């Protein structure tokens, strides 16, 4: 069955200026409970957690986006942790516990560690994801024009 894209609704609330609760020269600490946009727990079911072998916790500051049944798009800076390559992802990580091994990591050839330029990578999964009501790929915008109203930006990296 083909998976169709659906418009997702974000519910805006008043902005709280205290979302940033800490800041250093290279990072900000956020209190996401104070964020401008809130969403249902299954609304972003294409967001994946990135994990490393023999490291039981996912990095809180790195996620990826499921773009097909075997492909995850993410920041290149999130493909390794202290030089160790990511080994698996959890799909629908807020709602499921099923992990998928990574078979290949493809980093933009011009990416330089620490640089914001060309900071993009693709993970190919060793097994295909079975889509359901709680796991599905993101809707990718295909028009050359960006809609004037609202666009959601998802994902996190080390410098967010």
pLDDT higher at 151 or 33: 151
- The enclosing domain of 91 has a CATH number of 2.40.10.10
Contacts of 126 (CB under 8 A, 6+ apart): 100, 101, 102, 103
Q: What's the pLDDT at 31? A: 53
What's the predicted TM-score (pTM) here? 0.68
**Residue 13 above 50 pLDDT?**
no
**Tens digits of residue pLDDT in 104-148:** 999 999 999 888 899 999 999 999 998 877 787 887 777 777 766
Structural domain tally of the chain?
2
**Residue 4 above 70 pLDDT?**
no
> Has residue 121 been placed in a domain?
yes
Q: Do the Cβ atoms of 69 and 129 come closer than 8 Å?
A: yes
Q: What's the pLDDT at 12? A: 37
> Has residue 157 been placed in a domain?
no
114 and 59 in a single domain? The answer is: yes
**Tens digits of residue pLDDT in 43-86:** 567 788 888 887 655 566 788 989 999 999 999 999 988 788 99
Q: State the DSSP code for 5.
A: P
87 and 35 in a single domain? The answer is: no
The tokens for 43 are 């609304």
pLDDT higher at 89 or 31: 89
Q: What's the pLDDT at 160? A: 44
By DSSP bridging, strand 71-74 and strand 121-125 are antiparallel
**Residue 38 above 80 pLDDT?**
no
> What is the three-state SS of 22-43?
EECCCCEEECHHHCCEECCCCC
């Amino acid at each position: 069955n083909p998976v169709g894209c659906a418009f997702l609704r974000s519910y805006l609330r008043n902005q709280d200026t205290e979302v940033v609760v800490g800041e250093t020269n290279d990072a900000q600490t956020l209190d996401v409970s104070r964020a401008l946009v809130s969403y249902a727990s299954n609304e972003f079911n294409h967001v994946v957690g990135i994990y490393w072998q023999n490291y039981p916790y996912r990095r809180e500051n790195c996620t990826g986006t499921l773009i097909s049944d075997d492909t995850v798009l993410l920041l290149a800076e999130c493909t390794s942790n202290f030089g160790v390559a990511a080994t698996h992802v959890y799909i629908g990580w807020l709602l499921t516990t099923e992990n998928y091994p990574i078979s290949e990591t493809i980093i933009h050839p011009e990416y330089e560690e620490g640089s914001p330029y060309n900071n993009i990578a693709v993970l190919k999964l060793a097994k295909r994801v079975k889509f359901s009501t709680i796991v599905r790929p993101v809707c990718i915008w295909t028009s050359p024009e960006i809609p004037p109203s609202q666009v959601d930006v998802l994902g996190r990296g080390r410098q967010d």
